[in-house]
Homo-oligomer: A and B are copies of this chain.
């Protein structure tokens, strides 16, 4: 027991505390040092509750109270998942608002008669509703990496909360606190280059979620003269990008990611470019889920690039379609045939053909699949409302589409064989989408999508959505027979579609 709670016996000096906290997070050996009860036995919980209360009461002054919070942080870091769950449960259950005070305030609010009384009662209610745990959590900010600590604590919390209303209430508080601190007005936009710290670049490699960084030379290629990487940072989490975007300068809108990631491709003079392609946007902090920066990041970068390179007239993404094939597999055959403009027979051949290994390297097959799949994907991107004219839920959209359409972009083009990596094949039959940000229509698009989920489409994409008058055989069934795909296809490969 002593081992685990030894940290609670405090020095008075914040300095020595900071040093200890630093040791704690840097010393590799620390986590190995087994705490006596990493799962938190009941007795431990009582001690912990006492320590939390002491910190809240600011016993010994505010500086000491923060030192106590640091010690609690140390304990937290040493705990097992179960222990952490109990630690957070304690915070959630025992350190909410005082029920009696809050009930009184609620009653007084309900009874308030005049404007003045209501204003006063509302204020009092707000005060009574404040959870003391928020004050406790705030105390971590004075520690080095204290803000990161809270962000990571919320990552833990999100993983364990499920439907538990008590933990969800704690999560609401933590999210609210983080949202206040991580307001976009407090963030710094920084360009990341090959001259940035290696430790920062290493984080990019780790975090990049869209197109995996394969090596340091892949990374260097993404930081070349015809590229830009921008990220938002918070002053209290320096060196930790919150979100970053990768941009390529091109002539014309890029239609595939293979070329963009080709390290041997020649470097374009950015002053000769007419287009900026946003080909990867990554949120890095799970603990900031629900706090949005992407919209701001894109618009700030569009502004900055527009000012630096007047020759750039087109701002567009080259985006994955992560939900396409999952959606397609759920569609019944009739709907597939209808949307793809195929006869039934061919429509039935679609799924098995997509299970043919490396079909994208078979020119005949790829050509035959091209139009039906593009039509289907257009249908998917445009969302259910495009067909029915009815208003739909945002959750019915592809998540990437939802993000860009919500920002006011329009669907510019669908790109066949845009991403032939295993992931691209698996998610979207290699199709990628360009979402275009055109300054003259961003607000209007945003408003319409926000109000009715009406999607802005380019003429080319609209054309893909037009119903085919009379469907003729496209030969897919025949191709399937020729390819004789493995009669007992690898079930996992199929499932992975």
Contact = CB atoms under 8 A, between A and B. Distances in A.
How many copies of this chain does one complex carry?
4
Given A141-B185, A165-B116, A172-B127, A63 B295 contact: yes
Interface stretch (A9-17, A246-254, A281-289, A360-368): A9-17
Interface string A137-174: 01111110011000000000000000011101100110
A442 B197 contact: no
Contacts of A173: 126
27 contacts: A12-B443, A13-B439, A14-B299, A59-B447, A61-B407, A63-B296, A66-B185, A97-B122, A106-B125, A119-B166, A119-B168, A120-B169, A122-B129, A125-B125, A125-B129, A126-B130, A138-B183, A138-B185, A141-B186, A142-B184, A142-B185, A186-B236, A194-B197, A194-B202, A195-B199, A196-B197, A198-B198
A69 to B, nearest CB: 10
A201 interface: yes
How would you classify the secondary structure of chain A's contact residues: helix, strand, loop or mixed?
A: helix
Interface residues of A, number: 94
B183 A180 contact: no
A173 B180 CA distance: 13
Interface string A289-306: 000100110011001100
A34 to B, nearest CB: 17
Contacts of A103: 109-110
A158 to B, nearest CB: 16
B116 A110 contact: no
Interface string A253-291: 000000000000011010000000000000000000000
Of the candidates A62, A66, A442, the one having the most CB atoms from chain B within 10 angstroms of its own CB is A62
A269 B103 CA distance: 54
Contacts of A236: 185-186, 235
Interface in A87-132: 92-93, 96-97, 99, 102-103, 106-107, 109-110, 115-120, 122-123, 125-127, 129-131
Given A129-B122, A186-B235, A196-B197, A63 B299 contact: yes
A119 B225 contact: no
A352 interface: no
A147 B142 CA distance: 20
A62 B123 CA distance: 27
